Amino acid sequence: MKTIQFNVPAPKDRSVYVQEDRLDHFYPYLHRHEEYQIMWIVKGNGTLLVDDSFHTFKQDDVFLLGPNQAHVFKSTPSSATHEDVQSVSVFFNPKGSLSNMFNMPELSALLDFISKNARGFKVPDNYIARVKRRISILKDSHQMDQLMNFFYLLRALNQVSAELKPLSISAVNQHDEDGFLRINSVCKFIKDNYKNNITLEDAAGHANLTPQAFCRYFKKHTGLTLVTYINEIRIQEACKLLTAKRYESISLVAYNCGFNSITNFNRVFRFIVGQSPKEYFLKYSNSLYQ
């Protein structure tokens, strides 16, 4: 599916753009944009595709989508009526007109938070009410009040950062050139060898670090442990094979993605994707091409 580079129609006199939609269906094309997007599903349900990952969504869910993450919200087929879906989106670009503010020492924690979450996340259900309230206040405010309420919204999200899980696997943050080149080399090594048994010693040796130093270094730059990252790479590849229909059985998909046990594959797949491989394939077939 081709990805459209989308230009958010933000007014030039706004640093933060709030968009409220009441439509028959969500924007139906896979697209990306430079801005971060916080999206509150006021009404509607279906499947969210982000890069190569799928997530179900329902009324009152809130997502953050990172810059240039390919995504599309596919509504569950129904007897659609006028204004069948509603959403509120908050678009912002920390490298645009907000850059000077984010570089203030008092806001460094918020800049660090959004930088670490460039792969997006879904707000945990326990915190939905608090975040919805902040989005509502932001939507109804203007000028300076809107900007202040935007930072209050980010602070509310930052307070639950420990419970957030990335929506997809993507490029790591480029904090510095040397660090980026090294971690990018390690990630490429893993992606090239995910079918094999990659040990901690293998990865650490590739980065010229001791195993203990590598664990700290890898977690700092990716937000994941080595085992979690390898599993997510393997499951990402499994999703591609399942949807490409290149294998006759789920067992063959598992073994060709580096898993030695179909039981372990099913367990890891369900933990990362939230459903079994069979359920994933059926949902892909029913939702993506409806």
Q: How confident is the model at residue 80 (pLDDT cuts 50, 70, 90)?
A: very low
Looking up residue 255, the CATH number of its domain turns out to be 1.10.10.60
In 3-state terms, what secondary structure has residue 193? helix
Within-domain flag for 169? no
**Among 60, 37, 63, which Cα is nearest to 48's?**
63
DSSP structural state of residue 126: G
pTM over 0.85: no
Looking up residue 53, the CATH number of its domain turns out to be 2.60.120.280
Q: Are the CB atoms for 183 and 221 separated by under 8 Å?
A: yes
Same domain, 217 and 232: no
Helix pair 143-158, 128-139: axis angle to 10 deg: 170
Tens of pLDDT, residues 117-148: 999 999 999 999 999 999 999 999 988 999 99
193 phi/psi in degrees, rounded to 5:
-125, 20
Last residue of a domain, one of 206, 223, 240: 223
What is the arithmetic mean of pLDDT over 162-182? Answer: 63
Same domain, 149 and 10: yes
Distance CA 212, CA 80 (A): 55
DSSP structural state of residue 173: P
Which is it for the CA torsion 208, 209, 210, 211, positive or negative?
negative
Distance CA 96, CA 155 (A): 20
Alpha carbon 262 to its chain's center? 27
**Among 257, 230, 231, 261, which Cα is nearest to 246's?**
257
50 phi/psi in degrees, rounded to 5:
-125, 115
Tens of pLDDT, residues 203-233: 999 988 999 999 988 887 776 789 988 998 8
122 phi/psi in degrees, rounded to 5:
-110, 135
Same domain, 191 and 91: no
Same domain, 20 and 134: yes
